[in-house]
Amino acid sequence: MKTFKASFALLFLSVFLLLASCVIPESNHVEPTYHLLTELKSDRNNTSDTGQVSFYVRQVELPTYLQENRLVSRPKQGLIEFTEDDRWGEPLEEGIARVLGINLSKRLNTFAYSVFPHRQKASCTFELGISVQRFERIDSSTVLFEVLCDLHSFKRVEHFPFSTRVEFPEPADEGDSSLEVLALSQAISGLCDFLANKISLSMVDPSQKP
């Protein structure tokens, strides 16, 4: 009798566990918010009249930690944090190049430009190489953008660094990253002001100097 009761109890427990395993718990999954960098007008009145100028933006180089689609913050040295709920809607290197091309074409008053992965246009005047060192939030209301630039023109190459910090208001909603993304777009706009000035200064072909 005891053996029968023990077997019945074991069978009941097995059925209970089987039914419990079939219950689908309520999902805690939160759909990520996807962001895009955007082109912005220059804060400075430095739109150049450079005449016939064309340029090509090479493939933007990113450090490994920026090559995935999650937004990044580095609140202190040696620490990196990834956001799970806010992500890039396109590969970051393509987004930076896209916005860089649009902004710079407006600064230089030219439609003769192309951006990787598209082919370089014929008789291109300048090629730009951009190696990103930092592109992230560094505290609750500041982003940092650091790059190394290569400007190829007239069979010569110039190398120069660029760095900028952009502050933004702390969002009312702690989970809202839209102002952070806008600040990163403003940082790219600052780089475009810098590059437009460099290109304007490089417009004279050294071989044509008297």
Where do the structural domains in the chain lie, given as residue ranges? 50-203
SS3 122: coil
Average pLDDT over residues 92-114: 95
SS3 159: strand
The answer, yes or no, to whether residue 133 has pLDDT greater than 90, is: yes
d(CA 143, CA 10): 61
d(CA 156, CA 79): 39
- Residue where the block lists tokens 């706009």: 189
d(CA 149, CA 132): 9
How does pLDDT run across 57-89, given as a tens digit for each residue?
999 999 999 999 999 999 888 899 999 899 999
Q: What is the pTM of this model?
A: 0.80
Whether domain 50-203 has CATH 3.40.50.10610: the reply is yes
d(CA 64, CA 50): 36
Classify strands 55-57 and 113-115 as parallel, antiparallel or unpaired: parallel
- Residue where the block lists tokens 């895009």: 36
How does pLDDT run across 5-24, given as a tens digit for each residue?
455 455 555 555 555 555 44
